[in-house]
């Protein structure tokens, strides 16, 4: 079957939504948002307001402002998630580099025997080698020009690692005691941290590419630590709630006195979002990590 839908003008896009039952008070404003946000992008945010997905008819009383409110919430939500992600990423990079450097030496990452799968090591080495060669950082250029080793020392190298690269290097670290030494800094088992880093890489990439986050279902979910069960949701594991809970636990340890939890709750309250679509349990405000 060939795609035969013609492109619509901005006003035609708005008219189509009105014909499906969406209340639009200000057509000029709606056209403005269509021009800057894209009809197809916004469609993900009016989908929850549809009464019938086959006909795309909206629930009675749904207006364009409700769709826009949800879009703005998700945008601000992604920025808040990235705020916590930065703290987590920087901290775990530092913890892994500190442990590996002190235990195995400044250039432990050049020692193939300290890592598990050869094919993975070769792939990860090539990836980080490219990152170093393309880096414009003054400290990287200085280290590469001054010293003979193929790569900078581990504590400098992690500063040019992506979150995905960090996840790969950590998970491929050969000795479990090394992985556990890093995980223990956050009160976790190495299997939990390995799983969480993989999952957070996906979340971070979604945020970095401005993708819908708030009600997304994740194909890759983190293993859940038993000691945090009271604050986690066991029935809706593919939604973002458990991710937020685990991130909050990490931020509590990394940045005591932070306001991240308060800012997230305020954001939810301000936009009056249906958090059940995010996997939040009905009693989430009374869970140990979230209450108070």
* Model confidence pLDDT, tens digit, residues 178-207: 999 999 999 999 999 999 999 999 999 999
Residue 276, C-beta contacts closer than 8 angstroms, at least 6 positions apart: 282
pTM for the predicted model, two decimal places: 0.95
The phi, psi pair for 50, rounded to 5°, reads -80, 135
Residue 270 has a pLDDT of 98
Model confidence pLDDT, tens digit, residues 139-155:
999 999 999 999 999 99
Q: Is the pLDDT at 164 greater than 90, yes or no?
A: yes
157 touches 128 (CB < 8 A): yes
Element (H, E) at 264: helix 260-271
Look-up: residue for tokens 């491929």?
172
235 touches 276 (CB < 8 A): no
**Average pLDDT, stretch 41-61?**
96
User: SS3 letters for 111-171?
Assistant: CHHHECCHHHHHHHHHHHHHHHHHCCCHHHHHHHHHCCCCCCCHHHHHHHCCHHHHHHHHH
Q: Is the pLDDT at 289 greater than 80, yes or no?
A: yes
**Closest residue by Cα to residue 25 from 10, 34, 14, 36:** 14
Residue 273 has a pLDDT of 96
Q: Is the pLDDT at 292 greater than 80, yes or no?
A: no
HSE-up (13 A, CA, CB side) for residue 227: 6
Model confidence pLDDT, tens digit, residues 168-181:
999 999 999 999 99
Q: How confident is the model at residue 36 (pLDDT cuts 50, 70, 90)?
A: very high
**Average pLDDT, stretch 77-88?**
99
The structure tokens listed for 124 are: 């990860």
**Average pLDDT, stretch 264-270?**
98
96 touches 166 (CB < 8 A): yes
Residue 29 has a pLDDT of 98
Number of other residues whose CB lies within 10 A of the CB of residue 58: 21
Element (H, E) at 57: strand 57-58
The phi, psi pair for 23, rounded to 5°, reads -85, 120
Model confidence pLDDT, tens digit, residues 116-128:
999 999 999 999 9
Mean pLDDT over each residue of the chain, to the nearest integer: 97
Residue 169 has a pLDDT of 98
């Amino acid at each position: 079957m060939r795609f035969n839908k013609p492109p619509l003008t901005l006003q035609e896009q708005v008219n189509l939504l009105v014909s499906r039952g969406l209340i639009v008070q200000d057509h000029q404003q709606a056209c403005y948002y269509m021009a800057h946000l894209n009809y197809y992008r916004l469609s993900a945010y009016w989908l929850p307001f549809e009464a019938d997905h086959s006909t795309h008819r909206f629930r009675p009383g749904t207006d364009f402002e409700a769709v826009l409110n949800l879009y703005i919430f998700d945008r601000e939500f992604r920025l808040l998630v990235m705020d916590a992600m930065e703290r987590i990423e920087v901290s775990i990079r530092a913890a892994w580099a500190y442990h590996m450097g002190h235990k195995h030496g400044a250039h432990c990452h050049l020692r193939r025997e300290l890592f598990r799968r050869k094919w993975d090591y070769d792939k990860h080495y090539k990836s980080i080698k490219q990152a170093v060669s393309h880096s414009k950082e003054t400290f990287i250029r200085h280290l590469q020009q001054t010293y003979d080793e193929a790569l900078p020392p581990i504590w400098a190298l992690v500063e040019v690692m992506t979150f995905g690269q960090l996840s790969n290097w950590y998970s491929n670290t050969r000795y479990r005691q090394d992985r556990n030494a890093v995980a223990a800094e956050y009160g976790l088992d190495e299997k939990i941290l390995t799983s969480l880093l993989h999952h957070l890489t996906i979340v971070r990439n979604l945020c970095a590419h401005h993708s819908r986050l708030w009600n997304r279902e994740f194909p890759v979910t983190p293993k859940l630590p038993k000691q945090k069960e009271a604050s986690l949701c066991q029935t809706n594991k593919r939604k973002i709630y458990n991710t937020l809970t685990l991130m909050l636990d990490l931020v509590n340890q990394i940045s005591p006195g932070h306001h991240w939890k308060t800012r997230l709750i305020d954001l939810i309250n301000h936009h009056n979002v249906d958090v059940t679509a995010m996997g939040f349990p009905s009693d989430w405000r009374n869970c140990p990590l979230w209450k108070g």
